[in-house]
Structure 1
Amino acid sequence: MPIKIGANPIIWSNDDMPSLGGDISLETCLSEAREAGIEGMELGNKFPRVGSNLKAALSPYGLELVSGWYSTDLLIRSAEEEIERMQSHLQLLKALGATVFIAAETSNAIHSDVSIPLSRRPVLSDREWPEFARRMTLMADAVTAEGLDFVYHHHMGTVVQSRQDIDTLMSLTGPSVKLLLDTGHALWGGSDLADLAKVYRDRIGHVHVKDLRAINRAKADAEDWSFLQAIVGDVFTVPGDGCIDYAKVFAEIPDYSGWVVIEAEQYSKDVSPLTYVRMGRNHLVNTLSQTGHLSCLRAS
């Protein structure tokens, strides 16, 4: 599969704080994505979850389904229970031709609670990690058997946030657990992005390109903001509007193929989502051209 550029609907409407962009319709999101040259979309809270309805929503805009976030509860649920619980989501992805299954552990996550600062995010003990990784591997094996890549989404405010967390997860899980490289979350979590991409280049199965505004991120750290405070405080943005050098990141994954998904939390009433998604796509196209990753992309 060549590289394709997708988008996440949180550019338009936020999933963790639905009031942000709550007035923006799904049709506006999809039409603007198409207008900006986006080729596929990940799921959001306004998307239909019945295959025929979802296909009917995407098809008029010529958009593919990239994937969709799935919240695991493997710290409190067995792998067998989680595998049964995930079936409707998995079958929806399969029905629409998605190639990756995005998962993140959220049983004790704090990223959706505006009152809890990121300094109080959950961590796993040395005793808890092996069983968590075993359950995650079993779940990933089940997804892989259905023909999709299972990609783990490290995320601020969860048990897999720091570089050490990512390293531990990757070392304890089997090869069916691939890494979703999310540039914004990785950088804020303390990872060197180029090094992270280099070390796990053979296990990176999906890429999210979310940028950071360094000054706002520093303020969030100094004042111990919650994740939702960081969203409202303009910490995140699209590629080209933040501090990340994407050329250095993509230079370390020369053989990557698949989706590269533009993200930015919806936060601005002054600049339209269409303006941001165009900015992000244009910057990404220029970067991928420099690093030799560009294939046939839809014109914006």
Structure 2
Amino acid sequence: MRTIKGPGLFLAQFVSDKAPFNDWRSITAWAGSLGYKGVQVPSGDMRLFDLDRAVESQDWRDEFLGIARENGVEVTELSCHTQGQLVAVHPAYDAAFDAFAPEALRGNLKARQEWAVDQVGKTIRASRLLGLDAMATFSGALAWPYLYPWPQRAPGLVETAFDTLAERWRPLLDLAEENGVDVCYEIHPGEDLHDGVTFEMFLDRVGQHPRANMLYDPSHYVLQQLDYLQNIDIYHDRIRMFHVKDAEFRPTGRQGVYGGYQPWVDRAGRFRSPGDGQVDFAQVFSKLAQYDFPGWAVVEWECALKHPEDGAREGAEFVRRHIIRTTPQAFDDFAAQGTDRAAIAAALGLS
């Protein structure tokens, strides 16, 4: 068993045009001052990361990593959530997701998708060049508008959506294999990969690809009413990344899982800062330690109530308290006896 690394912080929800969140040196100094040991970096935000230079320049990579180390943190992983989302977009969401692409590509769906695929590929290559072995992303979604089967889905609709999704991702997964990088899909509502069943449907279509893995975030499972602890038992071999994010689900006589189109604060299910929701993190950390999880515990702030800076500050200590320093020995080793085949035979009544 190994001890989970952490605490780490996902920077996507914090980067802004306001200091200290507007440049790499300042934001890593801020994260380090809170006690974080690592940061997860969105590869598409130029205020923190220049993806093209990361692929092209060893000097740039050395400076980037050096600044982080000066501030007491290391880069845990790169994220290309927004770019991965654009690998597959249903037409119902074209206008909304256009904002994730450069302005010059908006409205040009073919160019936008090609750009997204290129961005994901560059994030894979940049990860290897930075010495990282895992990358976070979204799968994108073609079937999501058909989640609830009414009216009845046309025969073959879901199958075709997943076939197409696999066709788009297979070359990227092969590239990840060439670079020794796990592609960790955040299992997330709004994505075609939103639970264990859909993840397995995708795996079947990419030939159980060894680089197709999971970013585990129990908050998304609370809101779906999925057993987030059993999920670790089932998929621990595929879980390569971990977001520490809490959630609560309090259904009423007026609303449940779907939330009645209400804003986050008024929904039956809503995200909370670590420790403020219903996730049993003691059990989550125990199971990940049991299954020898190789990665980082990374705080992701998405709380409907708490200020992000308070959530970040409290999150570092929360993770520190929950990381289990795994034992190198069994608790009863003091009573261990050496191997003595004669004694064993005698104990079992064997000649």
Aligned to 2:120: 86
Aligned to 1:154: 187
Pick closer, same or farther for the CA change 1:293–1:208 going to 2, 3 Å. Answer: farther
The structure that has the greater radius of gyration is 2
Structure 2, gaps ≥5 residues long:
55-59, 90-109, 329-351
* Equivalence map 1:1-300=2 (5 Å): 2-5=3-6, 6-13=8-15, 23-26=18-21, 29-44=27-42, 45=45, 46-49=47-50, 50-51=53-54, 52=60, 54-55=64-65, 57-70=67-80, 71-72=83-84, 73-75=86-88, 84-106=118-140, 125-173=158-206, 174=208, 175-215=210-250, 221-225=258-262, 229-230=263-264, 235-253=270-288, 254=290, 255-265=292-302, 271=307, 273=309, 275-289=310-324, 292-293=325-326
Q: Secondary structure at the match of 2:165?
A: helix
User: In 1, Cα distance between the equivalents of 2:323 and 2:3?
Assistant: 12
Task: Give the conservation status (yes or no) of the 8 Å contact 1:161–1:189.
Answer: no
Task: Give the conservation status (yes or no) of the 8 Å contact 1:66–1:99.
Answer: no
Task: Give the conservation status (yes or no) of the 8 Å contact 1:10–1:266.
Answer: no
**1:124-146 Cα distance to aligned partner (Å, 9 max, x none):** 71232134235434322211211
Which structure has more RCO (C-alpha within 8 Å, separation ≥ 6)? Answer: 1
User: In 2, Cα distance between the equivalents of 1:97 and 1:232?
Assistant: 43
User: In 2, Cα distance between the equivalents of 1:30 and 1:80?
Assistant: 32
1:48 aligned partner, one-letter code: F
Aligned to 2:337: none
Q: Secondary structure at the match of 1:43?
A: strand
Pick closer, same or farther for the CA change 1:209–1:279 going to 2, 3 Å. Answer: same
Identity %: 19
**1:1-51 Cα distance to aligned partner (Å, 9 max, x none):** 8521211014534xxxxxxx6535335532231122211111243312143
User: In 1, Cα distance between the equivalents of 2:205 and 2:281?
Assistant: 28
Pick closer, same or farther for the CA change 1:231–1:148 going to 2, 3 Å. Answer: farther
* Aligned-residue offset at 1:195: 1.0
Q: Which has the higher helix share?
A: 2
2:65 aligned partner, one-letter code: K
Task: Give the conservation status (yes or no) of the 8 Å contact 1:69–1:104.
Answer: no
Task: Give the conservation status (yes or no) of the 8 Å contact 1:7–1:262.
Answer: yes
1:195 aligned partner, one-letter code: Q
Q: Secondary structure at the match of 2:163?
A: helix
TM-score by length of structure 1 reads 0.74
User: In 2, Cα distance between the equivalents of 1:81 and 1:22?
Assistant: 25
Task: Give the conservation status (yes or no) of the 8 Å contact 1:11–1:265.
Answer: yes
Larger displacement relative to structure 2 (101-110 or 65-74): 101-110
User: In 2, Cα distance between the equivalents of 1:294 and 1:284?
Assistant: 18
User: In 1, Cα distance between the equivalents of 2:143 and 2:312?
Assistant: 28
* Aligned-residue offset at 1:159: 1.8
* Aligned-residue offset at 1:199: 0.2
User: In 2, Cα distance between the equivalents of 1:103 and 1:164?
Assistant: 18
User: In 1, Cα distance between the equivalents of 2:3 and 2:298?
Assistant: 14
Task: Give the conservation status (yes or no) of the 8 Å contact 2:244–2:300.
Answer: yes
Q: Secondary structure at the match of 2:243?
A: strand
Task: Give the conservation status (yes or no) of the 8 Å contact 1:137–1:177.
Answer: no
Task: Give the conservation status (yes or no) of the 8 Å contact 2:143–2:158.
Answer: no
User: In 2, Cα distance between the equivalents of 1:232 and 1:265?
Assistant: 15
TM-score by length of structure 2 reads 0.64
Pick closer, same or farther for the CA change 1:157–1:219 going to 2, 3 Å. Answer: same
* Aligned-residue offset at 1:88: 2.8
Cα-Cα RMSD: 3.8
Q: Secondary structure at the match of 1:236?
A: strand
Aligned to 2:345: none
**1:60-112 Cα distance to aligned partner (Å, 9 max, x none):** 312212222222344478x99976553432333233322212221236699xx
1:192 aligned partner, one-letter code: D
Task: Give the conservation status (yes or no) of the 8 Å contact 1:41–1:66.
Answer: yes
